[in-house]
Amino acid sequence: MSNSIKLPKKLMLLGSGELGKEFVIAAQRLGNYVIAVDRYVNAPAMQVADCAEVISMLSADDLEAVVTKYQPDLIIPEIEAIRTEKLLEFEQRGITVIPTAAATNYTMNRDRIRELAHKELGIRTAKYGYAVTLEELISISSEIGFPNVVKPVMSSSGKGQSVVANQYEVEKAWNYAIANSRGDSQKVIVEEFINFEIEITLLTIKQWNAPTIFCSPIGHRQERGDYQESWQPADISEDKILQSQAIAKKVTDALGGAGIFGVEFFITKDEVIFSELSPRPHDTGMVTLISQNLNEFELHLRAVLGLPIPHIEQLGPSASAVILASEKSDSISFIGVAEALAEKDVDIKLFGKPSAHPYRRMGVALAKAETVQQARDKAITAANKVLIIST
Ligand SMILES: Nc1ncnc2c1ncn2[C@@H]1O[C@H](COP(=O)(O)OP(=O)(O)OP(=O)(O)O)[C@@H](O)[C@H]1O
Ligand SMILES: NCC(=O)N[C@@H]1O[C@H](COP(=O)([O-])[O-])[C@@H](O)[C@H]1O
Ligand SMILES: [Mg+2]
């Protein structure tokens, strides 16, 4: 099989943030040619790619222009906000879209992936409903009960998401969701609030010509719907790992194609509840930059190129903690990196984003230790040492 794979390949990355940057590094190490595309100049992955293009990825015309210009072998989406109907057209023209054009379309809309998982595949999810007006949201919220979680169907990283404690907070949640919805979508999903013991990401690697394989589960903690820290391995029972693997296999088989998927679950005392998934490396999976022999970006690359993955090794208790900006700035420096790196088994990645705004993720601290708790403490301590200053 491997003899038939000819390198280098020409890869077009749609979205060039921190996840893309690590993917480009992995791709470059095998000599591939990468065109990094995003909506702004000097995005992290552009800094390490062969060339860069700044376009609106929601514009079919812009996508057509870059694809015509470069004629890539593969198109690799890195974010959700892409005109996915256009990807379908590229796929029909013979360009491989990762994992498939249909999968990117399913997962950019919370309602589409939810209907696939729950209605078509019969997978357990939180109770949910949809609303396109405030009146509908008021009515569906009282059916679902309180507390519940309201999210725009088109958003990511917690944008527009809020936990609603009672009926008096519904209007505020509606306004917040609509104001932070991607594109012109006016649809929100309201979900039963799951009081989970832990939430996990199960990195699931779907291969062209080999069985689906899994990484050890990653535990994580979120605030404002956005990831703050993650750790591996997550302490959950073997039985629940097998249940989550079975669900991840079912959903990723339905989506098809090849690549890594970050499949998110809520784990309660008795249940494994499917939440959502990314058809690409996952932010919480950045912990694999320190915790595995092959990180999630190298795994994604191997899977999409059809290269073998003979063995994934988990290297012991590990954690990641985010480095967030607190202010708006177009000119950024960091201090404290030396102090953070002075600790054994700590690493820092700064993404090189050209501008900051409150809560924007600018870097990540990684740590390994004897126990998961120690690794988490170490990663958080390191992240706190790094200070972002405007220059
Ligand atoms: N029904 C729910 N019950 C409890 N917590 C929830 C629920 N839905 C979401 N959350 C919390 O909010 C976080 C973000 O939600 P979700 O993953 O749906 O949003 P997202 O915007 O797609 O995030 P990302 O793009 O970073 O994965 C979850 O990881 C979880 O911590
Ligand atoms: N949860 C999805 C996620 O983490 N995506 C990552 O964040 C970047 C956008 O960052 P920005 O908003 O700071 O530009 C994306 O390009 C991707 O790398
Ligand atoms: Mg999520």
Summarize the confidence of residues 217-238 as an average pLDDT. 97
- The pLDDT tens digits for 127-165 are 999 999 999 999 999 999 999 999 999 998 899 999 999
Q: Which residue's CA is the closest to the ligand 2 atom numbered 8?
A: 17
14, 16, 19, 201: residue to mutate for ligand 2 pocket, most atoms within 8 A of CB: 19
Which residue out of 78, 80, 127, 149 has the highest number of ligand 1 atoms within 8 Å of its CB and is therefore the one to mutate?
149
**Per-residue confidence (pLDDT) for residue 391, from 0 to 100:** 84
**Any atom of ligand 1 within 6 Å of the Cβ of 149:** yes
Q: Which is more confident, 186 or 301? A: 301
Give Cβ neighbours of residue 388 (< 8 Å, ≥ 6 apart). Answer: 323, 325, 326, 327, 329, 332, 333, 334, 356, 362
Ligand 2 close to Cβ of residue 18 (< 6 A):
yes
Helix 296-305 to helix 18-29 angle (10° resolution) is 60
Contacts with 40 (C-beta within 8 Å, 6 or more apart), sequence order: 54, 354
ipTM of the complex: 0.98
What are the pLDDT digits (tens) for 101-128?
999 999 999 999 999 999 999 999 999 9
| The overall pTM is greater than 0.95 | yes
271 is catalytic: no
Domain 2-97: top CATH class:
alpha beta
The pLDDT of residue 76 is: 98
The answer to whether the CB of 180 is under 6 A from ligand 1 is no
Q: Is 158 in the pocket of ligand 1 (CB under 6 A)?
A: yes
Whether 198-390 and 127-192 are alike in CATH topology: the answer is: no
Taking alpha carbons only, the member of 158, 260, 259, 156 closest to residue 218 is 260
Q: CATH number of 198-390: 3.40.50.970, 3.40.50.300, 3.30.470.20, 3.40.1800.10?
A: 3.30.470.20
Is 151 within any annotated ligand binding site? yes
* Domain 127-192, classified CATH 3.30.479.30, yes or no: no
In this model, does residue 2 exceed pLDDT 60?
no
At 183, is the pLDDT very low, low, confident or very high (cuts 50, 70, 90)?
confident
Domain assignments of the chain as residue spans, ordered by start: 2-97, 127-192, 198-390
* 238 classed as catalytic: no
Query: Of 228, 80, 225, whose CA–CA distance to 158 is shortest?
Result: 225
Is the Cβ atom of 221 under 6 angstroms away from ligand 1? Answer: no
- Centre of ligand 3 from the C-alpha of residue 228, in Å: 12
Distances from the Cα of 228 to the Cαs of 5, 52, 323, in angstroms? 39, 29, 9
**Confidence band of 185 (pLDDT split at 50, 70, 90):** confident
Is 345 known to be catalytic? Answer: no
Please check the confidence at residue 1 and state whether its pLDDT lies above 60: no
83 C-alpha to center of ligand 1: Å? 23
> What pLDDT, in 10s, does the model give residues 235-278?
999 999 999 999 999 999 999 999 999 999 999 999 999 999 99
